[in-house]
Amino acid sequence: MPNFKNSRTAEDIKREMTAILRELKDPRINKMLTIVRTDLSGDMSYCKIYVSCLEGIESTKESIKGLKSAEGFIRHELFHRLKLRKAPELVFIADSSIERGAEISRKLNELL
């Protein structure tokens, strides 16, 4: 049976993470960073956050370094904004889906 609370909480985390990203002032975090998806574990103790940047995978990896250094602040903010019993451990993963999508779009435009 699907766990609707788990998927709803994952969407809430994604929404709040987008807002928190705009508040971070670390110069390593790219302003064009996008949260692609969030995967929350069944017991809600771990959350994988897939991030991507239009400027490429190297820029995304540099932004992840900044996100890891701000993980404590991000967990604190998620805890208070979502009124969770326990803030999940956050794992940031670089995803190149936006870059791939832009490349596919560019190739399709060349064909036309």
pTM of the model: 0.84
Per-residue pLDDT band for 2 (boundaries 50, 70, 90) equals low
Distances (CA, A) of 29 to 52, 53, 71, 106: 11, 10, 13, 26
What single DSSP character describes residue 25?
A: -
Q: Give per-residue pLDDT as tens, 84-103.
A: 888 899 999 998 887 788 88
Q: Give per-residue pLDDT as tens, 29-53.
A: 988 898 999 999 988 899 999 999 8
